[in-house]
Amino acid sequence: MEVTFKIENWPTSNPAAKQALGEIQITHRVIPLPAYDGALIWPFHYWKYLENAVVEVCFTLRHWSIAGKSAEVPSDTYSAEIVDMLVLISPPPNHCLTSKT
């Protein structure tokens, strides 16, 4: 597996998230979102290209209806999986504002 897609190298926004990733390394695996802005967006650029962008999300939605036994109430289970994401409108430029004091 490419180093970029290993869970221990996954970008995080804070120390708590980084620690949580460390705790699930053995039981979880990374599946990057297939996001495009003309070309594939790499995971380290998700924030830059996706935050505040308008995107089209293609996904599958699965439904299972599970019948209940005699006195049990039947239940419904849903599962969604993102197929891909396409940036329709890029996010506005991120300008740092400085105060004049």
Distance, in Å, from the CA atom of 1 to the CA atom of 6, rounded to the nearest integer, reads: 7
| Sign of the alpha-carbon torsion through 35, 55, 58, 17 | positive
Res 5: pLDDT: 73
Q: In sequence order, which residues have a C-beta less than 8 Å from that of residue 77 and are 6 or more positions away? A: 63, 64, 66
Distance, in Å, from the CA atom of 94 to the CA atom of 67, rounded to the nearest integer, reads: 51
Whether 6 has a pLDDT exceeding 90, the answer reads: no
Q: What is the mean pLDDT of residues 75-96?
A: 89
What six digits make up the tokens of 47? 């924030």
Whether 94 has a pLDDT exceeding 90, the answer reads: no
Res 8: pLDDT: 79
Q: pLDDT digits over 83-92, tens only? A: 999 999 999 8
Q: pLDDT digits over 23-41, tens only? A: 998 898 888 889 999 999 9
